[in-house]
Amino acid sequence: MYGDSKSPSTIMQTEPIKKIFLECVNRGITYKYITEITKDNIPYCKEVLEIIKTGELRHLDGIKGNFALTEYEYLATATLYDAQPLQDVIYSNAKQIVKQNECLFETLWDKSMPAEQKIKEIEEGLESDVIEIIRNSSRAKKLYLNLVNNAKKEIMIIFPTVNAFIRQDKVGVIKSLKKVSRESNVMIRILMPIESFNQDELDAMSYGDFRQQKETIDSNCGNTICSENFGNIDIRNIDRMSEAKATILITDRNQSLVMELKDDTKDTFDEAIGLSTYSNSISGVLSYVAIFESLWIETKLYEQVRAHERMQNAFINIAAHELRTPAQAILGFSRLLKKHPELKDELVDGMYRNASRLQKLINNILDVTTIESQSLHLNKEKFDLNYVISNLVDEYRHQIKKTNSNIKLIYGNNNNAIFIESDKERIIQVISNLIDNAIKFTKDGGEISISCEVETENEHNKQVVVGVRDTGSGINSEIFPKLFSKFTTKSYQGTGLGLFISKNIVEEHDGKIWAKNHEGGQKGTTVAFSLPLKINIHPNNRKNPIENKVKT
Amino acid sequence: MENKKILVVDDEPDFTFLCKMILEDEGFAVDEYTDPLLAFSDFKPNIYDLLILDIKMPNMDGFEFHRKVKELDNTVKVCFLTASEKYYETFREKEYSSLGKDLFLHKPIENKELIKKINKILNAN
């Protein structure tokens, strides 16, 4: 039997019908009954369930019309109105017609669900699990927008192609996404081939913000991960999918809509979309979530790997040059020594100079390795920073004189001792690095001033700030944001590791390091770092527990 | 080989000094520059038999220097000498590939080896 939602009550309430029903059951007839179980007809369905001995009651959504089948006969009617006499019926005992409708019935039987399950769902207030195929693209579009606008917590979308994004933008999807993110604080994540957008496609985008996002992603692609935040909308790049073509939408991790892309060359959503599948069946939806999440992480990892590779290549290039150049000089000079004993002094000086350069480089590379493997250890000792800087400045003045350069080194400290407890070697390394950089980028006749001052924020916050100020050309705006990272250098010499190492040493001391280009008149840069000073414990403040006890 | 004149351009003064000494010991006449711009502005055609050029230099790299010099002097031979990894690819892509690998030398290079290669280049035709 196949009956609409009114049929259970009709069977149970209409006496003659009920009587026949009971008789048949008692005769051993198998009843296969499909109806639409609703809140209203549950009591009648339960009655039916109690009665049916062999056979089963099942549920199907949206039943209209009724028919009944036996092995030989077929009877169909229109919707029964409570206890009203039947108006029109169709009857047949033609074998083919009965057989045909048997097939139809079996199809419906397979699609139906056990009555107990449906009753349970209704009573427990659970929504039924639905997986629906939507053939009408207009309906799919409505559902799409509906899902987006009603999302409460999170939305995940995969756009397979650039055109898909543009088409959906035209029907208002992006607008809805932004609205829902702004108004309901919904977290939105999008995977799409954003790197593949060309200029025309970009111009077609009606939202300046997305264009801006793309530009930010582009300019960051050199060094950082391709993921930008715009409000609550996170976009990451996936490569254009040439094989898989479907837009996947998941909302609140409990509903999914997958829209097949039938023809990517079409201009409108309706023409481009093929079949769509909607599901609110949790396990199904969660598998889409799993796919999305793994793609999401993968793109980040992939970009990290690419960035790392770029860095490695940059490093090899720079290191190769920096290692080979002094090696060449040492090899060449040492060979020349035999032939030209008269040039001994010059050659030996040259060898020493280049060997020092190599030594510095080796130390830098090893320092970087140490820092990266988290094994940077500080040997702290108490020393007078002012004294150390004074000595260092004298040494540099000496060196500068030797090279016949005209750069002036100024250290303006009025001989006040400043005691700090830190790793003396490493602090000297940092200050040397800053002075080296200043010298490198300050022309002849320029000035470098070093300062060292104690700053007191409050009783508990004292720090010493060491600054190196030059009158050079200023730090190039291109490298400024990555100043303290590896391989950042605008000079033709050096590996660009100095500031990276300095930053790590300073931060290991719980200090800070920063750089600033001078504004206004005098060009140049100041690079400075701060180190926290330990608070001296005043003897009167020291709490002595025993003393206190005695006092009370 | 006597009477051959060589121009050396490299931004490392230690290297140009070294090169000059090695080549002069072999009887070559050598002009050395650490600034490619200055070297180019001083350049006169039909004086040099060979150019020894570093590639990574500020203001003008070795490839560009050679290109510009070639416009003034078509007969001078060239040899590139570099400490970097990456320029070999560029070298191959440009017209040099037909002239052979010998024109592209890597630092550090032994003094004897340098002389050997230079002689080979000067004698070849």
Q: What is the pLDDT along chain A (552 residues), one digit of tens a residue?
A: 888 888 888 888 888 888 888 888 888 888 899 888 888 888 888 888 888 877 888 988 888 888 888 988 898 886 655 556 667 788 889 999 999 999 999 999 998 888 888 888 887 766 667 788 888 888 889 889 989 998 889 999 998 888 888 888 888 888 888 888 888 888 899 888 877 766 666 555 545 555 555 555 444 443 323 333 445 778 888 876 667 689 999 999 989 999 998 888 888 888 888 899 999 888 889 999 999 999 999 888 888 888 778 777 777 777 888 899 999 999 999 999 988 999 999 999 999 999 998 998 898 888 988 888 888 889 999 999 999 999 999 999 988 888 778 888 888 776 788 889 999 999 999 999 999 999 888 887 888 999 998 888 777 788 999 999 998 888 877 778 888 887 777 666 667 888 999 999 999 999 999 999 888 777 889 999 999 987 554 444 444 444 444 444
In this prediction, residue A200 carries a pLDDT of 64
Q: How far is A346 from chain B (nearest CA, A)?
A: 10
Scanning A478-517 for CB atoms below 8 A from B yields 492
Residue position matching structure tokens 């496609």 = A201
Taking an 8 Å cut-off on Cβ atoms, the answer to whether A336 and B84 are in contact is: no
In this prediction, residue A238 carries a pLDDT of 82
ipTM of the complex model: 0.90
Select from A320, A328, A339 the Cβ nearest to the Cβ of B85.
A320
In this prediction, residue A229 carries a pLDDT of 42
For residues A447 and A3, give the distance between their C-alpha atoms in angstroms, rounded to a whole number. Answer: 97
Across the beta sheet with A31-35, the strand order is A89-92, A74-77, A66-69, A2-3, A31-35, A55-59, A113-114
Contacts of A101 (CB under 8 A, 6+ apart): A67, A69, A74
Averaged pLDDT score across all residues of chain B: 87
With contacts defined as CB-CB under 8 Å, which chain A residues touch B12? 325, 329
Q: How far is CA B115 from the centre of its chain?
A: 12
Residue A340, both tokens: 């030209």
In this prediction, residue A192 carries a pLDDT of 86
In this prediction, residue A410 carries a pLDDT of 87
For residue A257, CA distances in Å to A34, A155, A251, A498 come to 29, 11, 9, 53
Q: How far is B74 from chain A (nearest CA, A)?
A: 30
**A67 forms bridges with which residues in the sheet?**
A2, A76
Taking an 8 Å cut-off on Cβ atoms, the answer to whether B21 and A340 are in contact is: yes
In this prediction, residue A135 carries a pLDDT of 87
Q: How far is CA A259 from the centre of its chain?
A: 24
Scanning A302-321 for CB atoms below 8 A from B yields 316-317, 320-321
In this prediction, residue A328 carries a pLDDT of 94
Q: Strands A461-470, A512-517: parallel, antiparallel or unpaired by DSSP? A: unpaired
With contacts defined as CB-CB under 8 Å, which chain B residues touch A331? 108, 110-111
With contacts defined as CB-CB under 8 Å, which chain B residues touch A332? 15, 18, 22, 108, 111
With contacts defined as CB-CB under 8 Å, which chain A residues touch B22? 332, 336
Say if residue B42's pLDDT is above 90: yes
DSSP reduced 3-state for A441: helix
Taking an 8 Å cut-off on Cβ atoms, the answer to whether B107 and A317 are in contact is: no
Taking an 8 Å cut-off on Cβ atoms, the answer to whether A335 and B110 are in contact is: yes
H helices present in A39-172, as ranges: 42-51, 95-111, 115-123, 137-149, 162-170
For residues A380 and A387, give the distance between their C-alpha atoms in angstroms, rounded to a whole number. Answer: 17
A364 interfacial to chain B (CB closer than 8 Å): no
Question: How crowded is residue A102: how many other Cβ atoms within 10 Å of its Cβ?
Answer: 14
Q: Which among A90, A48, A42, A43 has a CA at the least distance from the CA of A65?
A: A90
Q: How far is CA A411 from the centre of its chain?
A: 48
Q: What are phi and psi of A128, to 5 degrees?
A: -75, 150
Number of residues written out for chain B: 125
With contacts defined as CB-CB under 8 Å, which chain A residues touch B108? 324, 327-328, 331-332
